[in-house]
Amino acid sequence: MEYYAILVAGGKGVRMGGDIPKQFLPIGGRPVLMRTIDSFVEAFEEIRIILVLPESQQEYWHRLCEEYDFRTPVEITSGGETRYHSVKNGLSRILEGAEGIVGVHDGVRPFASAETIRRCYHAAEKHGAVVPVIPVVETIRQLLPNGDSQTVSRDAYRLVQTPQTFRISLLKQAYRQTYQPFFTDDASVVEAMGHPISLVEGNRENIKITTPTDLKFAEMLTSE
């Protein structure tokens, strides 16, 4: 059983307020994206990493690899117009007929634990399509068409994380569909085909680094 990971890293760092894309920012003295890759290698030493980067950022990534002496084998392909198209580009680097599991992960989620990653891949072997989730701890209110709102049970909701993991053949089939605006993640693409999505436990530290506050929290996690 072969394992692949498609890491999507197309951020421009706009919400960070700087010029360096967020996936390249250092946390604990090491770029975010390298930490993300390290997490997958920790989970599965022989996993094949496919990194999806905008073409304009690829030279900078190579310079960072030299600067940090980062030698983990990574296959690079260019990003697309949307996340859907970027993932599709990554999938194209896996040969047709390949058997195994592929996980799609946000490049700016460096704290997916090895346990979470293994749980996702092993569950996908059985169920075909798996998403890691965590419980909602805040109270949720639903906005109504008349402008009012009402409290809804948070027990009926889960927060979705990555890696979202799938049998390779299933995900390739799903990405042959025509792009739709409601394809917000890989599970939504597979679900549009009628295939059920199984849920497994994620880990709360598995945050997506998007804002300066996220970056501060990430620094705290690396210092523990």
Domain boundary assignment for the chain: 2-223
C-alpha closest to that of 27 among 163, 206, 214: 214
C-alpha closest to that of 52 among 95, 16, 84, 98: 84
pLDDT at 201 over 60: yes
Cis geometry, peptide bond prior to residue 163 (ω within 30 degrees of 0): yes
Cα separation, 35 vs 106, in Å, equals 12
Q: What's residue 74's pLDDT?
A: 97
Q: What's residue 18's pLDDT?
A: 59
Contacts of 81 (CB under 8 A, 6+ apart): none
* CB 66 within 8 Å of CB 58: no
Average pLDDT over residues 162-182: 97
- Rounded to a whole number of angstroms, the CA Rg of the chain reads 18
**pLDDT above 70 coverage of the chain, percent:** 96
Six-digit token string for 107:
């490049």
pLDDT at 98 over 50: yes
Six-digit token string for 173:
């089939």
pLDDT at 180 over 60: yes
Average pLDDT over residues 211-215: 93
Average pLDDT over residues 198-211: 96
**pLDDT above 90 coverage of the chain, percent:** 93
Report the 10 Å Cβ neighbour count for 137. Answer: 8
- The position carrying tokens 């890491």 is 7
Q: Which of 6-15, 39-48, 63-72, 147-156 has the lowest mean pLDDT?
A: 6-15
Q: What's residue 156's pLDDT?
A: 95
Tell me the whole-structure pTM to 2 decimals.
0.94
Q: What's residue 14's pLDDT?
A: 46
Higher pLDDT, 70 or 11: 70
- Provide the sign of the torsion angle of the four alpha carbons 218, 163, 184, 48, taken in this order: positive
Mean per-residue pLDDT over the chain, rounded: 94
- Through-space distance between the first and last CA atoms of the chain, rounded to whole angstroms: 35
pLDDT at 15 over 60: no
2-223, CATH topology level: Spore Coat Polysaccharide Biosynthesis Protein SpsA; Chain A (3.90.550)
Q: What's residue 20's pLDDT?
A: 85
Could you tell me how far CA 55 lies from the centroid of its own chain?
19
